[in-house]
Structure 1
């Protein structure tokens, strides 16, 4: 399993725009990227931090998405 999830993958996962993701980072305590975008690459976010944020904010149920980390107890 990868340690990171990219910006395009997050936008697709949540069905949001890049602007919404930026707003979440400033207003909803969404994790900052661990690897910032350069040129044509996209930013990468830590899977564990994003998974923790999703669980804390109830997104697994409200968006009906599968957990990023499935073997958590």
Structure 2
């Protein structure tokens, strides 16, 4: 099982900008990155924390996206 999801993967998944992701972290309790970006690298977020946030916020239904973690994981 994958442990992390990158900033770029999240932006693509949600169809948002980096600014929106930062706003969600500040205003909508989106998880903070587990590994912060340095230089050209991308921050990494914990899959479990993001999955929980998506479920709790109703994002799975509103964006009609598949869960990051399947019930069988």
Q: Give the shorter-chain TM-score range.
A: over 0.9
Specify the SS of the correspondent of 2:64: coil
Partner of 2:38: 38
Q: What's the Cα RMSD here?
A: 0.8
Deviations 1:12-65 (A, max 9, x none): 000000000000000000000000000111000000000000000011110000
Task: Please name the residue that 1:63 is paired with.
Answer: 63
Kindly report structure 1 stretches of 4+ aligned residues shifted beyond 4 Å.
none
CA–CA separation in structure 2 for the residues paired with 1:18 and 1:58? 20
5+ residue gaps in structure 1?
Answer: none
What count of residue pairs does the alignment treat as equivalent? Answer: 72
TM-score (norm 2): 0.96
